[in-house]
Structures are given as structure tokens and as C-alpha cells.
Amino acid sequence: MLQVEGLRSGYGSIEIVRGVDLEVAPGQVTALVGRNGAGKTTLVNTLMGFSPAWKGVIELAGRDVTKAPPHVRNGLGLAVVPQGRRVFGSLSVAETLALASKQGGWDFERVSAAFPRLAERRNTRARSLSGGEQSALAMARALSTGPRVLLLDEPSEGMSPHVLRSLSSVISGLAAEGAGVLLVEQNLTFALTVADRVLVMARGHIDITVSGDDARADPDALSRLLVLQTR
């Protein structure tokens, strides 16, 4: 569904993503973990088209979108929950979702069932929401576009354990409906509740892939690996 080969990108003359091969398969949750600075956010931004690809190929639903702008990728079913949420503070919850909404995307009723707090806060401006509520809004905004492939960059940031449970059931539900999910997470415990596969990124490469079941069987081994990694 989303297929990436030999992807390279960076900032100025500094290469951050250094030859990434990656597949986000339909119906699967692929977790991407790695230490701070490994290049995960740069990879997500390059997949969405916010940062240009220097080399390599990004295919979405069989089409080469390597040079396509973000709105074209979104039209083909790609959506992102960006790091830091990036919601517009002056828009209310309802306005944020109405602006993003596309045919086939989640409507307000479905969003409200998944994140009841957003329904209670529907007329509240995003800037007045708590951090966890803003994270839920960023997630709901992506769902409103009806993604076939969803990129999540630390979506759990600021969420209470209760909202985290909602997030995990939304992610698993999306995959069960056939969507592909790429989940970038620092919170390993959370990532392992939903991951079918875990990819470990270091120094701009993805060197290690572990099945979700193996990672769950020995989560400490994964934690130790991350501690040992250098940037």
C-alpha cells in the first residue's frame, strides 16, 4: 500500500534519512522506534511530502508519489498525525474536523464515540484544549480524511491512560478495516499494545525488524537495544 525504496532526505546539506526501505502493509500496524534524533520525524515528513525526497521512491496505492505534494498524497489516502499535533489554535474542535472532512472519512458521530471528550469540547478553540485533547483532535482530524494509510508521529503525547486506551482501540480498529498504520512512538509499552511489526531506526537507517509477538515476549530486550543505540 505504501512502499518505500532507498529513501534519502535531510535538511540543507545534512542527510538524515539515509536509504530507508519500508512497507506499510494494509491491515497491519507497523511501529517505528528509535532514539531521539534517529530520523523518525524526518522520515514521516518525507513520506507525507512536507520534506522533499532527495533520492529513492515512494509508492502509494501503486502510484509513484515521490514528488507529489502533500494534498495529492492525502487524496490518495495518506494522512498524518504530526509530531506536536499542529492544530490551529483559533479553530474550534468542530471547525477543525469540518475543514478536514472528506467523503468516506470519519464523521463527527464516529469521532465522538471514539473520543467522547472531543464531543464535549466541540465548540472549544484548539488552543484552550489540554495537550491530550489536542492529541486526540489531531488524530480525529486525520481520521476525518478517511485514511487508507495513516502515519502517526508520537500520537500518544500528553494522553491520559484512559484516552490512550481509546487511541489503541482506534488504531487496531483501523487496521482491522484494512488500513495500513505506521506508528512512530517513544512509548514502547503503548506501541507494543498494537504493533504487528516493530522496526528499529538508528542513524537514518532501519536495521532491525522484529515481529510484534517477539517484541511483546521480551520487551526488555527491545528497550535494551534502544539504550545501546547511538544516534
Q: Which residues bind ligand ATP (CB under 6 A)?
A: 11, 16, 34, 36-42
- Cβ atoms of 157 and 183 within 8 Å: the answer is no
The amino acid present at 38, given as its one-letter code, is: A
Residue with smaller CB distance to ligand ATP, 34 or 132: 34
CA dihedral 159, 164, 168, 171 (to 10 degrees): -20
In the complex, minimum distance from the CB of residue 37 to ligand ATP, in angstroms, rounded to a whole number:
4
The 3-class SS string of 55-85 reads EEEEEECCEECCCCCHHHHHHCCEEEECCCC
First to last CA, the chain: 29
Query: Which SS3 state, helix, strand or coil, does residue 52 take?
Result: coil
**Cβ at position 14, least distance to ligand ATP in Å:** 7
Closer to ligand ATP at the Cβ: 39 or 132?
Answer: 39
CB of 36 to ligand ATP, least distance (A): 3
| 10 vs 26, beta carbon nearer ligand ATP | 10
**In the sheet that 63-64 helps form, which strands lie side by side, from edge to edge?**
14-24, 2-11, 55-60, 63-64
Tell me the closest approach of the beta carbon of residue 3 to ligand ATP, in angstroms.
21
Nearest approach, Cβ of 92 to ligand ATP (angstroms)?
A: 29
Rounded to a whole number of angstroms, the minimum distance from the CB of residue 90 to ligand ATP is: 24
Query: Is there a contact between 156 and 136 (Cβ–Cβ < 8 Å)?
Result: no
Closer residue to ligand ATP, CB minimum distance, 45 or 92: 45
Q: CA 90, CA 183: separation in Å to the nearest integer?
A: 28
DSSP letter at 126 equals G
Q: Which is nearer to ligand ATP, 39 or 147 (CB)?
A: 39
Least distance between ligand ATP and beta carbon 212 (Å) = 20
- How many C-beta atoms surround the C-beta of residue 44 within 10 A? 23
Q: For ligand ATP, which is the closer residue by CB, 41 or 74?
A: 41
Name which of 30 and 144 has its Cβ closer to ligand ATP: 30
Q: Would you say the C-alpha torsion 49, 64, 79, 27 has a positive or negative sign?
A: negative
